[in-house]
Amino acid sequence: MTDRQRQLKISLLLAVGITIVCGFITWLIFNKSEQTFSSPSGFGQRLPEVAYKFTIGGDGSTGPYKLSEPMAVDVADNGDIYVADTLNNQIKIFDKEGKFKKSFGGRELFYLPSDLVIGPEGIFVADSKNSRIQLFSLEGDFRKTFVSPEIGRQIGAMIPVALYCSSDGTLYVTDVFYQRVIIFDPKGQVVKYFGMPGSREGNLLYPNGITVNEKKKLIYVADSNNGRIQVFDLNGQFKGILKEDGRVLFLNMPRGIVTFDDIVFTVETFSHRVSAFRTDGANVLEKAVFGSRGLGDDQMNFPNDIALKGNVLCVADRANDRVLVYELK
């Protein structure tokens, strides 16, 4: 072995060793002991208990119940559960007990849909690979492509990844092409957009989740590749980053996110769990987690989205090809 070969071998071993050490440190940081969801009462003031109800899809599922990497889920007012069956390019609808009702889509309509959200006019689908947002009735009838060519010329290219629709029909979209948030009025006209690539306050890096606390008029963005949740007002003005004891709360690839009263729920994709925070704006007052990697009723494998309607909490357990349904108490 020549000196150069010996030096290369030593360098390679050092690099591997550093990678292992860094990975172990990251594992310690993101898998340290945490409080589980165990608060007995006062939902909205205390963190709720979580009870498993049922699973849609997963191992052994056949026919319309078979899902392939579902990336998104939402729940209608009547309890129906809508799932973006991403690799099958379909939207599937199940009733509140998990029974299949119908599906729509196909490769001619979608190309790897990444998110869906139910609004006053129907269901919006982030057809990411086709760089568009489509609107359907709750029965799956096509209504329109939400963003017109004229709007496209106004805002430039767009890759919509995550959606939130407010009670008045305002649509909030995360765009990973320009790393920003775009706000549309109910007619599809651009109200404003904000954000730019980076890691400073107000900058975004592949935001994969968005929700709005309509009561407090705050936008929460899962700033996924920066490992944090940022808070903005409805005008897009930066209000803060979720902090605990004055320090930024780092999360392991936060993606889907929802809020109810003072509680923010998000999936930490790389930690295979759901995290919940009772907040005062951008300040975390209490936190809890549940989930670990696996196939159990309280386990997940790269979860990608979360939905909440009343006391029903759904998780798109992407790599397990299923949706987990829980009840909050």
Q: Which tens digits make up the pLDDT trace of 147-190?
A: 766 777 888 889 999 999 999 999 999 999 999 999 999 988 99
For the chain, the domain total comes to: 1
Residue 27 lies in a domain: no
- 49 in any annotated domain: yes
What's the pTM value of the predicted model, to 2 decimals? Answer: 0.87
Residue 271 domain-assigned (yes or no)? yes
Q: Is residue 269 pLDDT above 50, yes or no?
A: yes
Q: What is the pLDDT of residues 214-253, one digit of tens each?
A: 999 999 999 999 999 999 999 999 999 999 999 999 999 9
Instruction: Place 1 in a pLDDT band, splitting at 50, 70 and 90.
Output: low
Residue 329 pLDDT greater than 60, yes or no? yes
- Cα separation of 308 and 267, whole Å? 12
Q: Which two tokens stand for residue 115?
A: 């998110």
Does residue 284 carry a pLDDT above 80? Answer: yes
* Long-range Cβ contacts of 100-106 (<8 Å, 24+ apart): 100/63, 100/64, 100/65, 102/139, 102/140, 103/64, 103/140, 104/136, 104/140, 105/140
In this structure, what CATH number is given to the domain that contains residue 57? 2.120.10.30
Please give the pLDDT value at position 148: 65
For CA atoms 307, 309, 313, 318, the dihedral sign is negative
pLDDT at 208: 98
In a domain, 4, yes or no: no
Residue 21 maps to a domain = no
Q: How confident is the model at residue 2 (pLDDT cuts 50, 70, 90)?
A: low
Helix (H) or strand (E) run with residue 31 in it: none
The length of the chain in residues reads: 329
Within-domain flag for 310: yes
Eight-class DSSP state of 163 = E
What amino acid occupies position 103? S
pLDDT at 205 over 60: yes
- Which structural domain range is residue 218 located in? 44-328
